[in-house]
């Protein structure tokens, strides 16, 4: 129970990687806030976390809208009493080749993935700086380092998260706030499950470990970074990609 009595917010955590992260934190004793644009799904995940014996709260807000972010953080601190951990997980894709990419698709991905991380981090450090303690982890991506055809907007947003992580780490280290990122590679999710076997085989040719990652692999890296074991680690990116990028 390394995180007992800590309060953790995981954005975009009603399902997928975010849900797995939230459950991992709850198993270590953290009281968790589940946020999503779907309150119904967030409440379902909150109930699963509560079954592990921790306090939970489900909130609905759009991470790209400043007013909604401010209202959500005010509610979280008001009801939970504090905020020790922030995991910036909320993100979307709108893929397309650069020449065909619509401006709206560029703006939407940048606003949710990068601006959303900025807005949530900005509100979190206000609370954490007063308490002189905080752990922030943002979910980046291997494509933020390698690039990927058809994902100019997504790659740019994830590369931006890495730069934001390093700068925030420098600015708030004196307040005992560590800021890191986790960059997943190809992770087995509902989206990859429907891919043809030939496509999966081609993907795995570029992965030295010979398999797709699991959501648990990502959650384990996040759990480490927010735990006391990583107290001397800040401004870093942990790559969880099976060796496809070194």
197-229 confidence digits (pLDDT tens): 888 888 889 999 999 999 999 999 999 999 999
Average pLDDT over residues 1-28: 97
> Which of 32, 84, 74 shows the shortest CA–CA distance to 53?
32
In angstroms, what CA-CA distances link 89 with 14, 185, 202, 209?
11, 15, 27, 25
- From CA 98, how far away is CA 215, in angstroms rounded? 29
Its pTM stands at 0.96
* Helix, coil or strand: residue 44: helix
Return the pLDDT at 190. Answer: 74
Predicted local confidence at residue 200, as pLDDT: 82
pLDDT at 191: 66
Reported as a single tens digit per residue, the pLDDT across 149-180 is 999 999 999 999 999 999 999 999 999 999 99
Catalytic residues: 154
Instruction: Pull the structure tokens for residue 112.
Output: 């949710």
Of 61-70, 91-100, 184-193, which gets the smallest average pLDDT?
184-193
- The pLDDT of residue 192 is above 80: no
Is the per-residue pLDDT at 90 higher than 90?
yes
Number of H helices, E strands in the chain: 10, 7
Tokens 């648990």 belong to which residue?
Answer: 216
Give me the phi and psi of 118, to 5 degrees please: -60, -50
Question: If you average pLDDT over residues 137-155, what whole number do you get?
Answer: 96
Percent of all residues in the chain with a pLDDT value above 70, rounded to a whole number: 100
What is the average per-residue pLDDT within 61-80? 98
- Alpha-carbon distance values, 115 to 45, 97, 158 (Å): 25, 22, 11
The residues near 125 (Cβ < 8 Å, ≥ 6 apart) are: 134, 136, 168, 172, 175, 177
Q: Tell me the pLDDT band of 189, cut-offs 50, 70 and 90.
A: confident
């Amino acid at each position: 129970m390394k995180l007992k009595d800590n309060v953790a917010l995981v954005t975009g955590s009603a399902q997928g990687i975010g849900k797995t992260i939230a459950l991992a934190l709850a198993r270590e004793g953290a009281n968790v806030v589940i946020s999503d644009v779907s309150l119904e799904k967030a409440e379902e995940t909150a109930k699963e976390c509560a079954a592990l014996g921790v306090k939970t709260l489900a909130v609905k807000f759009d991470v790209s809208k400043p007013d909604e972010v401010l209202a959500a953080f005010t509610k979280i601190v008001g009801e939970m009493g504090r905020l020790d951990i922030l995991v910036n997980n909320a993100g979307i894709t709108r893929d397309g080749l650069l020449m065909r990419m619509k401006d709206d698709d560029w703006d939407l991905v940048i606003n949710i993935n990068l601006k959303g991380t900025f807005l949530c981090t900005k509100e979190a450090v206000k609370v954490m700086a007063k308490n002189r303690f905080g752990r922030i982890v943002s979910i980046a991506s291997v494509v933020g380092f390698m690039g990927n055809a058809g994902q100019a907007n997504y790659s740019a947003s994830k590369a931006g998260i890495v730069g934001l992580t390093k700068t925030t780490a420098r600015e708030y280290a004196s307040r005992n706030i560590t800021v890191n990122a986790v960059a997943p590679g190809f992770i087995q999710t509902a989206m990859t499950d429907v891919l043809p076997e030939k496509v999966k085989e081609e993907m795995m040719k570029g992965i030295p470990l010979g398999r797709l990652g699991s959501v648990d692999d990502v959650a384990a890296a996040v759990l480490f970074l927010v735990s006391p074991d990583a107290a001397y680690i800040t401004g870093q990116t942990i790559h969880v990609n099976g060796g496809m990028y070194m």
